[in-house]
Amino acid sequence: MNAPSLALVVVVVALVAVGVYLLLERSLTRVIIGLVLTGNGVNLLLLVAGGKAGGPPLTGQTPPEDMSDPLPQAMVLTAIVITLGMTAFLLAMAYRSWQLTGHDEVQDDLEDRRVARRAALDRAAYEDVDAGTEPESLDEAAAEVHDETGDVGGRS
Amino acid sequence: MTPQLGWLVPLPVVLPLFAAGLALALWRRGRAQGVISVVALSLALGASVTLLVAADSGPVVAELGDWAAPVGINLVADRVSTLMLTVSFAVTLAVLVYSLAQGVEDDNAETPVAIFHPTYLVLTAGVADAFLTGDLFNLFVAFEVLLAASYVLITLGGTGERIRAGTVYVVVSLLSSLLFLAAIAVVYAATGTLNLAQLALRLPELDPGLRLVLQVMLLLAFGIKAAIFPLSAWLPDSYPTAPAPVTAVFAGLLTKVGVYAIIRTQTLLFPGGQLDDVLMVLALATMLVGILGAVAQNDIKRLVSFTLVSHIGFMLFGISLSSEAGLGAAIFYVTHHITVQTALFLVVGLVERRGGSTSLDELGGLAKAAPVLAVLFFVPAMNLAGVPPFSGFMGKVGLLEAGVADGRPLALVLVVGGVLTSLLTLYALVKAWNKAFWQPVPENLRPVRLPRRMVGSTAVLVSFGVIIAVLAGPLYGYTERAAVLLRDRGQYVLSVLPDGQRGEGHSADTTRDPSAQAASTPRDVTGEGVTP
């Protein structure tokens, strides 16, 4: 009876899907774009929750049964402002990360690094020691074992 | 009913927010900022204590802007929320004094006052709003307020390590907020309201499958914030890098806000305990995985962070029993845990200051070098582990008793798991004690005098934890009455919507929705809260 537009639903699905894909990336910039897209998708979902669009909800101007629901619109406005603020903060963080490390990739957490070090230690045990490979530090080995970003070295 | 106290209810939110603005305006005057913060938090604490006493005789409701309840936003101060409010303001005040002393000592290198004070006040306002609100969307806003403040606090100073840890924290928190917002959208689409009391009336009319989806979505969003096991990986990595007072207040309050939101929604919106078995399994996993993580740590800050995750499991255990005894014990445990965990993080901050490191390998001999510090560590550590004279013991006994009384096999497994977790907590903390406080004093230990006010505020918080044990009788009675109120949803609904339709504020009656007229009256709900 009060069905929302199907087009909006499709847009919500598309935005959230693309957003989640980008969220899984390592680069903070892409994560931010992913969060913005997902955020907009969810905001749109909130709008869809209000039901069919109607006239402006002012008594005297629109008959009550033709009014659109003003409450979700007020909530969406709040949510948009919040998303904007958070995006600004995240961008500042990405910039600071770039200032400090020269890239904006989300780095491993300490526990991951430690697990990777153990894995590197284990690998050394069954590798051929006489193969003539350059002896590398444990941290470099850990980075090689774990890092998904591809470029080994050059990071702290 | 004490309607004349309604004006007090918004104060714990308004006072810190107002003070935050004032502190920001006076950013050049550090001393004035300190005075403003202390005064604002003290006044808010006073208001909370008054509400705590008033709420024992019935929930105090404030309708903001005098708009009637389901349309307007309302704040509800009942037993649980005022208890949380009082404990959290007491803790934030102690941490504020600690950080002021640290700021004076370090010349504000760790906690730059111009940013620190306004943000800290906004954080407390957000926490207070989350405890008080009677509206789901307002709860979301409260979460955003406290999270936005926490983002700034966790990256304070913008060093490499904090940016690294902060990135994970911010992205995970934002994701949980998006989940929460999506849940709100679906709840609104399904019921046409976000007022908690009205939701309590309308949700039972929904299709059980849809209701389960809503319950799971909300649990997921709050589970990330409360750091329940599969969703807890962000916590032990991000908390330890922040300055000591910030970590302390995060550990004490932010996860508990998530636990409180779970308690509120599970009891008020989704009674009947459909997901109790799932919650029990999650509680067990949180307790065991958390504490095993703590045992493996060699850094005292990370060790304490892991115990925090582990002990969230105890609270979830109490919630998942969905009995008055379990819920009462869980609320008591939250109260105990807020104070003891905050105190422990403050002490760890002092340990780092005195010993020059947080690595257990480099620390040593502190019991001889700083005997007062040793006492300050020993008391909350034993309290957390649940050694008898302290409040942790009473909270755990309450939970175990409730678990045995429940009698289901899974509950009994949880009882065993809880005892095991307590023992492992004791093991982890004794290990930390042995390595940091016994052992020979390292040669390079520099003689650092600990600032008296930092030690003093920590001591106050530690003794606050002990006082909880002394006052455990009345307090436990209060939490049990709070649990009874939580399970009796009719009283909450009646105090918000006296006639089952609208609150007591003034707004033109524009609801012409016939389904709203046909909605069940609160009398129907009264009996439903009690499951056989």
What average pLDDT is seen over chain B? Answer: 87
Structure confidence at residue A153 (pLDDT): 41
Given an 8 Å threshold on Cβ–Cβ distance, is A31 in contact with B171? yes
Q: Is there a single domain that holds both residue A74 and residue A43?
A: yes
Q: Is there a single domain that holds both residue A97 and residue A117?
A: no
Structure confidence at residue B49 (pLDDT): 93
Residue B85: pLDDT above 50? yes
Structure confidence at residue B528 (pLDDT): 39
Instruction: Give the nearest chain A residue to B72 (CA atoms).
Output: A71
Residue B189: pLDDT above 60? yes
* Phi, psi angles (nearest 5°) of residue B133: -65, 150
In Å, how far is B185's CA from the nearest CA of chain A? 5
Q: What contacts B330, CB < 8 A, 6 or more positions away?
A: B263, B314, B315, B316, B317, B318, B319, B399, B483
Can you tell me the mean pLDDT for B479-503?
85
Residue B12: pLDDT above 80? yes
Can you tell me the mean pLDDT for B416-429?
94
All residues of chain A having their beta carbon less than 8 Å from the beta carbon of residue B298 are none
Residue A14 lies in a domain: yes
Q: Is there a single domain that holds both residue A91 and residue A119?
A: no
> Do residues A122 and A141 make contact, with C-beta atoms less than 8 angstroms apart?
no
Q: Is there a single domain that holds both residue A21 and residue A77?
A: yes
CA distance B454 to B35: 17
User: B409-437 and B371-385 helices cross at what angle (nearest 10)?
Assistant: 170
pLDDT in tens, B276-328: 899 999 999 999 999 999 998 888 999 999 999 999 999 999 999 988 999 99
Q: Is there a single domain that holds both residue A58 and residue A117?
A: no
In Å, how far is A85's CA from the nearest CA of chain B? 9
The total number of structural domains that make up chain A = 2
In Å, how far is B187's CA from the nearest CA of chain A? 9
Q: Which two tokens stand for residue B337?
A: 């845990």
| A10 and B CB contact within 8 Å | no
CA distance A151 to B13: 49
Q: Is there a single domain that holds both residue A97 and residue A50?
A: yes
Q: Is there a single domain that holds both residue A38 and residue A63?
A: yes
- A 10 A CB-CB count for B254 gives 23
Given an 8 Å threshold on Cβ–Cβ distance, is B160 in contact with A75? no
Q: Which amino acid is at B465?
A: G
pLDDT bracket for residue B524 (50, 70, 90): very low
More reliable by pLDDT, B347 or B518: B347
Residue B229: pLDDT above 60? yes
Given an 8 Å threshold on Cβ–Cβ distance, is A90 in contact with B174? yes
Give, for B130, the enclosing helix (H) or strand (E).
Answer: helix B113-132
* Phi, psi angles (nearest 5°) of residue B74: -120, 155
Pick from B140, B153, B161, B178 the residue to mutate for testing the A interface (most A CBs within 10 Å): B178
Q: Which residues of chain A have pLDDT under 50?
A: 1, 135, 146-156
Structure confidence at residue A139 (pLDDT): 59
Q: Which residue carries 């299709």 as its tokens?
A: B207
Residue A123 lies in a domain: yes
Structure confidence at residue A127 (pLDDT): 57
Structure confidence at residue A150 (pLDDT): 42
In Å, how far is A4's CA from the nearest CA of chain B? 10
Residue A30 lies in a domain: yes
| A90 and B CB contact within 8 Å | yes
pLDDT in tens, B153-181: 998 888 888 888 888 899 999 999 999 99
Q: Is there a single domain that holds both residue A11 and residue A86?
A: yes
Given an 8 Å threshold on Cβ–Cβ distance, is A93 in contact with B160? no
Domain that residue A132 falls in: 110-146
- DSSP character string of B273-336: -TTHHHHHHHHHHHHHHHHHHHHH--BHHHHHHHHHHHHHHHHHHHHHT-SHHHHHHHHHHHHH
ipTM: 0.84
In Å, how far is A126's CA from the nearest CA of chain B? 26
Q: Is there a single domain that holds both residue A89 and residue A130?
A: no
Q: Which amino acid is at B154?
A: I
pLDDT in tens, B427-473: 999 999 998 888 888 887 778 888 888 999 999 999 998 999 899 89
What is the Cα A88 distance to its own chain's centre?
Answer: 14
pLDDT bracket for residue B22 (50, 70, 90): very high
Structure confidence at residue B336 (pLDDT): 93
Residue A154 lies in a domain: no
More reliable by pLDDT, B297 or B523: B297
Can you tell me the mean pLDDT for B1-17?
82
The rounded percent of chain B whose pLDDT value lies above 70 is 93
All residues of chain B having their beta carbon less than 8 Å from the beta carbon of residue A107 are 164, 167
Q: What's the CATH code of the domain at A91?
A: 1.10.287
Residue A156 lies in a domain: no
Q: Is there a single domain that holds both residue A54 and residue A84?
A: yes
| A89 and B CB contact within 8 Å | yes
Residue A22 lies in a domain: yes
Side-chain-side CA neighbours of residue B184 (13 Å): 28
Please state, in angstroms and as integers, the Cα–Cα distance from residue B177 to each residue in A72, A82, B148, following that order: 17, 10, 11
Domain edge (last residue) among A82, A101, A120: A101
Please state, in angstroms and as integers, the Cα–Cα distance from residue B390 to each residue in A149, B336, B387, B506, following that order: 49, 10, 6, 49
All residues of chain A having their beta carbon less than 8 Å from the beta carbon of residue B160 are 100-101, 156
Q: Is B452 exposed, middle or buried (0-12, 13-18, 19+ CB in 10 A)?
A: exposed
pLDDT in tens, B339-387: 999 999 999 999 998 888 888 888 888 888 888 999 999 999 999 998 8
> Do residues B450 and B350 make contact, with C-beta atoms less than 8 angstroms apart?
yes
Given an 8 Å threshold on Cβ–Cβ distance, is A64 in contact with B512? yes
All residues of chain B having their beta carbon less than 8 Å from the beta carbon of residue A100 are 160, 163
CA distance A41 to A24: 17
Q: Is there a single domain that holds both residue A91 and residue A38?
A: yes
Q: Is there a single domain that holds both residue A87 and residue A43?
A: yes
User: B30-55 and B11-25 helices cross at what angle (nearest 10)?
Assistant: 180
pLDDT in tens, B100-145: 888 877 776 666 667 888 999 999 999 999 999 989 999 999 999 9
Question: Mapped to the 3 state alphabet, what secondary structure does B443-496 carry?
Answer: CCCCCCCCCHHHHHHHHHHHHHHHHHHHCHHHHHHHHHHHHHHHHCHHHHHHHH
| A50 and B CB contact within 8 Å | yes
Structure confidence at residue B113 (pLDDT): 62
Residue A69 lies in a domain: yes
Give, for B21, the enclosing helix (H) or strand (E).
Answer: helix B11-25
pLDDT bracket for residue B255 (50, 70, 90): very high
Residue A152 lies in a domain: no
Residue B414: pLDDT above 80? yes
